[in-house]
Amino acid sequence: MRYRALMFSFLLTAGVICLGGLQNSVAGVGAITEDPVFKAYRGVAIGMSAVEARAALGEPKEKSDTEDLFEPADNEEARVFYDGSGKVRAIAVMYTGDISKAPKPKAVVGEDVPAREDGGVFKRVEYNKQGYWISYVKVAGDNPMVIITMQAI
């Protein structure tokens, strides 16, 4: 289980670094001015306090001032990242193995996203008015996973 948490942290960090550098002109990335369809994960939203996030998700499996790891269901892990004032600055959720319970792209980014040839999916949308971006990544293959990330802009 610790290996999965480390892998999740690595994938998330790499994804945030890569996605953070992308520009709106890149395919799969778009800025939207309307309201997002995915505003919170299990009641946790960007800008919420750590106390509120923990109340919504329960006791974290791993807890610190900068991030918490939650395992709310089988094949589902969530990392909640906090800024210096203890407010949620990012949420990353990873569904692995049986990903049938993972939300579909339309429920996250507001539209169906066609899969690439390899079965993978990527879409990132910026909600400038709301102050965050959200991405949907599906990795197909023998070890499928879906990663949904919300991060303050």
* pLDDT recorded at residue 91: 98
Q: Over pLDDT 70: what percentage of the chain?
A: 78
For the chain, what is the mean pLDDT? 86
* pLDDT recorded at residue 62: 97
Reported confidence tier of residue 92, pLDDT bands at 50, 70, 90: very high
pTM for this entry: 0.81
Q: Which residues neighbour 27 within 8 Å (Cβ) at sequence distance 6 or greater?
A: none
* CA-based nearest residue to 95, from 143, 152, 40, 42: 143
| Under 8 Å between Cβ of 127 and 32 | yes
pLDDT over 70 at 127, yes or no: yes
Cα separations (Å) of 19 from 49, 141, 149? 25, 22, 10
* pLDDT recorded at residue 33: 55
Q: Which residues neighbour 19 within 8 Å (Cβ) at sequence distance 6 or greater?
A: 124, 133, 135, 149
pLDDT over 50 at 95, yes or no: yes
* pLDDT recorded at residue 35: 86
pLDDT over 80 at 9, yes or no: no
pLDDT over 70 at 27, yes or no: no
Q: Which residues neighbour 2 within 8 Å (Cβ) at sequence distance 6 or greater?
A: none
